[in-house]
Amino acid sequence: MTIPQLTSYPLPAATELPNNRVKWALEPGRAALLIHDMQRYFLSFWGENSPLIEQVVGNIARLRRYCKAQGIPVFYTAQPTAQSDTDRALLNDMWGPGLNKHPDQQRIVAALSPDEDDQVLTKWRYSAFHRSPLEAILKEMGRDQLIITGVYAHIGCLTTATDAFMRDIQPFMVADALADFSREEHMMALTYTAGRSGKVVMTADMMPVPLSKADLRALVLPLLEDDEVPEDDENLIDYGLDSVRVMALAARWRQVHRDIDFVTLAKNPSIDGWWALLSRELTQ
């Protein structure tokens, strides 16, 4: 009676996301980031070096860096060890003793370790709001949007999203910054959220501009038609980057750097050229 052994699966692509009923736009001044239950115990069921978990951790880390740069507060949930039967209650019936038997795995994974500015909330039930000051803290901060990442998508993350909605807090479920028991359950959580309690987005949707040259490269390379990888100073047009995609990138990046347009990007269509534009001080 515990969480089963889990296997990696392909994360949802943007083209696979369910249609959202709402058209909410994330606003940094209203938002908070939640990193949900990314403890060694919950990730251990995928085993070592899981490709799925490596991708999810990487996307959450990118989101966290972006939120820090934008002044968006970061919250974590983490279950405690030595939970009493009263504390666990029905969780014992469903999942057994959980972390009580694995206190050495209570820590949040190293790649996502919280710092002194982050707030770590004790997690008692599926929802991050249960027996938690999260709602009160968000209200005090004037935050009514919650970016949700972590595990497991169809259990705690989905319950938290629904609970947020019931409290008039707009939840944004980040499809490629979540992991679940299976791809089917992952997609079920996204479908329910999009249709009933929130908005489903991709990591890239949350971050108008990349935070590093490596992030820029990871964004651009899939857009090229040529299988060869260009050097950072080479012309991306020569590798099959078409004008439609350049215009789409310009529209996206103009959300932060208002002087960027198609002509600006076309002057030096290379990783180095674009990074010089994007690495300038952010403008709001």
Q: What is the pTM of this model?
A: 0.84
Residue 161 has pLDDT above 90, yes or no: yes
pLDDT band at 282 (very low <50, low <70, confident <90, very high): low
- Report how far apart, in Å, the C-alpha atoms of 175 and of each of 154, 243, 275 are: 11, 28, 26
Domain spans, the chain? 17-206, 213-278
pLDDT at residue 265 greater than cutoff 80: yes
Q: Which residue has the tokens 């279950």?
A: 79
Closest CA to 165 of 200, 133, 141: 200
Q: Which helix (H) or strand (E) holds 177?
A: strand 170-179
Cis amide leading into 152 (omega within 30): yes
Looking at residue 32, what is its pLDDT?
Answer: 98
**In this structure, what token pair is assigned to residue 264?**
């600006």
Summarised one tens digit per residue, pLDDT across range 3-51 is 999 999 999 998 999 999 999 999 999 999 999 999 999 999 999 999 9
Residue 210 has pLDDT above 70, yes or no: yes
CATH (residue range 17-206):
3.40.50.850
Q: Say whether pLDDT at 62 is over 50.
A: yes
Please write the tens of the pLDDT for every residue from 107-157.
999 999 999 999 999 999 999 999 999 999 999 999 999 999 999 999 999
Residues recognised as catalytic = 36-37, 123
The strand pairing partners of 173, in sequence order, are 148, 200
Q: What is the pLDDT of residue 1?
A: 67
3-state secondary structure of 120: strand
Average pLDDT over residues 206-226: 88
Average pLDDT over residues 207-226: 88
Distances (CA, A) of 42 to 47, 88, 103, 128, 177: 10, 16, 12, 16, 15
Cβ–Cβ under 8 Å, residues 200 and 77: no
**How, if at all, do strands 74-78 and 31-36 pair?**
parallel
In this prediction, residue 284 carries a pLDDT of 43
Q: CA of 58: how far to CAs of 26, 53, 55, 176, 177, in Å?
A: 21, 8, 5, 10, 8
216 falls in which pLDDT band (50, 70, 90)?
very high
Percentage of residues of the chain with pLDDT beyond 90: 84
Average pLDDT, the chain: 94
Per-residue confidence band for 261, with pLDDT thresholds at 50, 70 and 90: very high
- 113 CB burial (10 A radius; 0-12, 13-18, 19+): exposed
Rounded Cα distance between 224 and 234, Å, is 13
Cβ distance 121 to 75 under 8 Å? yes
User: What is the model's pLDDT at position 283?
Assistant: 44
Distance CA 158, CA 190 (A): 8
Mean pLDDT of 75-85: 95
pLDDT at position 272, please?
97
Q: Where are the alpha helices (DSSP H) in 33-143?
A: 40-43, 51-70, 85-88, 90-95, 134-141
Cβ-Cβ contacts under 8 Å for 128 (sequence gap 6 or more):
34, 36, 75, 77, 121, 134, 156, 160, 163
Type of residue numbered 62: R
Q: 3-state class of 108 per DSSP? A: strand
Q: Residue 207: what pLDDT? A: 84
So what CATH class is 213-278?
mainly alpha
